[in-house]
Amino acid sequence: MFTLAIVGRPNVGKSTLFNRLVGKKLALVDDQPGVTRDLREGAARLGDLKFTVLDTAGLEEATDDSLQGRMRRLTERAVDLADAALFIVDARVGITPTDQVFAEILRKKGGTVILAANKAEGRAAESGFLEAYSLGLGDPLGLSAEHGEGMAELSVILRPLI
Ligand code: GDP
Ligand code: MG
């Protein structure tokens, strides 16, 4: 079964997207970073596509000095288990230094990376969406996990991979 790992720093909307794809509240979502942990696996459906999805979490409670190491290990573990990585950034916040660390991890790992700028609904997301081009991981896909926007475009990208 094709496996997609959802990766990215805390609070970008990974679990919200995971829940939307899986259709059940398997992963915890909260306004406060610090709720979800480790890796969660779910059976995803997107239109007629069926695949396995991994949600990376467990970074939220790390202390500052252990965060980068834990982030790296967990992300690498998910990417190793997966056929492709869906790298999520927050279009409302724009690109942060932590996003750049993730981009570097994914670049070094090789493999298929789909870049998505989440929270892309509305005007507040426009400049952050454009910043995502600077990661050098190709054209970002605009998503709104919360509102279900960009799901058809995601399925167009995933279909040839599955
Ligand atoms: P994670 O830490 O990456 O798993 O992020 P979560 O899925 O827990 O989401 C973090 C916060 O962002 C929550 O308050 C969500 O409701 C919010 N969020 C997720 N997706 C969207 C979106 O598409 N638009 C907006 N505006 N907020 C979102
Ligand atoms: Mg989460």
Q: Measure the CA–CA gap between 83 and 71, rounded to whole angstroms.
A: 19
Q: Measure the CA–CA gap between 72 and 83, rounded to whole angstroms.
A: 18
For the stretch 72-93, pLDDT in tens is 888 998 999 999 999 999 999 9
* Model pTM score: 0.91
- CB 75 within 8 Å of CB 7: yes
Any idea where the domains of the chain sit in the sequence?
3-148
Residue with tokens 């995601």: 154
Q: What is the dihedral of CA 33, 107, 116, 16, to 10 degrees?
A: -30
ipTM above 0.95? yes
If we measure between CA atoms, which residue out of 60, 79, 54 comes closest to residue 10?
A: 60
* CA 134 to ligand 2 center in whole angstroms: 25
Residue with tokens 């990974």: 14
For the domain spanning 3-148, the CATH number is: 3.40.50.300
Token pair for 70:
């834990």
The pLDDT of residue 25: 54
Q: Is 121 annotated as a binding residue?
A: yes
Q: Measure the CA–CA gap between 125 and 71, rounded to whole angstroms.
A: 25
Q: Please name the amino acid found at residue 106.
A: L
Residue with tokens 């190709």: 138
Residues with CB under 5 A from ligand 2 (ion): 14-15, 36, 57
Protein residue closest via CA to atom 17 of ligand 1: 13
- CB 108 within 8 Å of CB 84: no
Probe target for ligand 1 pocket from 6, 7, 11, 71, with the most ligand atoms within 8 Å of CB: 11
Which DSSP letter does residue 108 get?
H
Which residues have any ligand 1 atom within 6 Å of their CB? 10-16, 29-31, 33, 36, 118-119, 121, 144-147
For the stretch 115-152, pLDDT in tens is 999 999 999 999 999 999 999 999 999 999 999 999 99
For the stretch 7-28, pLDDT in tens is 999 899 999 999 999 986 555 5
Q: Measure the CA–CA gap between 20 and 4, rounded to whole angstroms.
A: 14
